[in-house]
Amino acid sequence: MKQIGYLLLLLVAVFSCKKEIKEAKVVVPEVVEEEKAPPVIKEFGYVLDNFKVVKDTIKPGDSFGAIMDTHGISRAKVFEITNKIKDTFNVARIMAGKPYMLLKSKDTTEKAQVFVYQNNKIDYTVIDFRDSIIAQKRKKPVKLVEKMASGVITSSLMQNFDDQNLSIPLAYKMADIYAWTIDFTRLQAGDRFKVIYTEKFIDDTIPAGIEQVKASYFEHRGKPIFAFRFQDDSINGGIDYFDDEANNLRRAFLRAPVKFSRISSRYNLRRRIKYYGNKIRPHRGTDFAAPVGTPILATADGIVTKSERRGGNGKYVKIRHNATYDTQYLHMSRQAVKVGQYVRQGDVIGYIGMTGNTSGPHVCYRFWKNGKEVDPFKQDLPASKPLSDSLRPKFFNYIEPLKATLDSIQFKPQEIL
C-alpha cells in the first residue's frame, strides 16, 4: 500500500509540474534600438551643423568687401574688420581661384559670422566676427608618409613620372637636387632613378604635396650619383644634399637658367643665323627654349648690374657673381629684379619672352669669365666645399640605412631596357 501511495504522490507532482510549465508564459525581452546621433561634421574647427554654410571660390574682380556686402555685412563693419585684422591678414591680397567658406547664423537673419580663407591645401585664415573680431592663421593636421619610387627613362623624367602617376612636384625636387650635376634636357634612354621621399596627407587621404626627398639615386649615362639630405650647420640654410662620399652636390652655378627646357642653340662662334639671312655671326650664348612666361632663374648668387631693354638683346638682366664670373639673360618678356639687388641661386629674375632680335620664345644665356664670353658647358666650374671632417662620421652613420633601402628598391622587369 505504501508503494502505491508513493506512486500516486509522484504522479500528482509530475502532473502539477507539467501544468505549471504549460501555463508558464515565455517572456521575450523587448529590444529597443537606440537612435544613433548624426555624426558631428567639423571643418576648420567649427561644427558645421550650428551654421548655415556657404562655400564658394574667389572670382576674378572679387574683393573681401564685395563678398561681405553680398552677405549683408555693412561697409562700416567691413572697415572695422579689415582695420582690426590688418596685422594678421591683408584682405586686399585674396586671390582669384582660392576657396572660401562663410558661416552664417541659422535663424531668419542668416547673419554672416565667420569667414574662412584657404591659402592652400594646408594653411587657412579664420576671421571670426561673432562677438569680438578675431583673425587667426591656422594649419590643417598633416600626416607624413614615407614613400619610394623608381623608374627608367625612355623619353624624359616628366614623361616617366606621368606614366607612373607619380607627383610632378617630386620630379621638380629631384631636378633641383641634381641641377648642378645632371643636365635634365639631355637625359638618355636607359637613365634610371630610385628615390625615398615623404608626402603630406590631410585626413590621411588627401595629398598635400611633397615634404622632402630624403635620399635618391640617379644613374645618368652609366654613372651613379647618390644624394642624401643632411643638416650641415656650416652652410647657409643648414640643409644640403651630399653624395655617398660626403661631397656636396651643389655647384657655384646651375647648369641651366630654366627648368625642364631644351637647348635650341648652343654657343657657336661660326653659327649661321636665320634672322640675319643665314650669315655667319658668332653666337656667344646658349639658347634655352621654353613657353612665354616661364620663370628664368639666376644660376648663381650675385648682384644685378643691369636690368634694362636694349636693341637686339630686348629686355635683359646681367648679374655680377664675383671678380671672375658674370652672367646675362636676354629676350625676357619682363624682368623681376632691379639694378643693385642681391639675388640668390635659383631666384626668379625674369620670364621667357620674345623681345629684341628673336624668332621664338627663349632665353639667351651668356656667360663671362674674366671679362670674356665663354661656353659655360666647357668650363670647369667650382664646386661647393664638401662636408666638414667633424661631421663625416655622423653623416656616414645617418646614410647607411638610407643607402641600404635604396639598394633594396627594385626596378620593375618591364622597366629594364
Q: Mapped to the 3 state alphabet, what secondary structure does 19-77 carry?
A: HHHHHCCCCCCCCCCCCCCCCCCEECCEEHHHCEEEEEECCCCCCHHHHHHHCCCCHHH
What SS3 state is found at 96? coil
Mean pLDDT of 389-410: 93
Residue 14 pLDDT level (bands cut at 50, 70, 90): low
Mean pLDDT of 108-126: 92
Identify the pLDDT of residue 324. Answer: 86
Mean pLDDT of 101-121: 92
Mean pLDDT of 202-231: 91
Residue 217 pLDDT level (bands cut at 50, 70, 90): very high
**CA distance linking residue 213 with residue 387, whole number of Å:** 19
Mean pLDDT of 171-189: 82
Identify the pLDDT of residue 36. Answer: 67
pLDDT per position as a tens digit, 254-272: 888 998 767 777 766 666 5
Higher pLDDT, 412 or 5: 412
CA angle 147, 152, 155 (to 5 degrees): 120
Identify the pLDDT of residue 205. Answer: 83
Identify the pLDDT of residue 3. Answer: 55
Identify the pLDDT of residue 395. Answer: 94
pLDDT per position as a tens digit, 288-305: 989 999 999 999 888 999
Identify the pLDDT of residue 298. Answer: 94
Identify the pLDDT of residue 415. Answer: 47
High-pLDDT (> 70) share of the chain, %: 83
Q: Which pTM was predicted?
A: 0.62
Q: Which residues does 269 contact at the CB level (< 8 Å), separation at least 6? A: 282, 283, 284
Domains with residue ranges and CATH for the chain = 43-139 (3.10.450.350), 143-251+411-415 (3.10.450.350), 262-378 (2.70.70.10)
Q: Which residues does 11 contact at the CB level (< 8 Å), separation at least 6? A: none
Identify the pLDDT of residue 240. Answer: 86
**CA distance linking residue 202 with residue 191, whole number of Å:** 34
What SS3 state is found at 390? helix
Residue 175 CB burial class (10 angstroms; 0-12, 13-18, ≥19): middle
Residue 212 pLDDT more than 90? Answer: yes
Residue-wise over 123-150: b if at least 16 C-beta within 10 A, else e? Answer: ebbbbbbeeeeebeeeebeeeeeeeebb
Identify the pLDDT of residue 37. Answer: 64
Residue 390 pLDDT more than 70? Answer: yes
Higher pLDDT, 289 or 238: 289
Which cell numbers in the block locate residue 21? 510549465
From 22-36, 146-160, 206-220, 232-246, the region with the lowest mean pLDDT:
22-36
Question: Grid cell 628673336 — which residue?
Answer: 358
Identify the pLDDT of residue 361. Answer: 92
Q: For the chain, how big is the Rg over CA atoms in Å?
A: 35
pLDDT per position as a tens digit, 126-176: 999 988 899 999 999 899 999 999 989 888 888 888 888 888 889 888 988
Identify the pLDDT of residue 5. Answer: 55
The DSSP code for 316 is E
**CA distance linking residue 37 with residue 147, whole number of Å:** 38
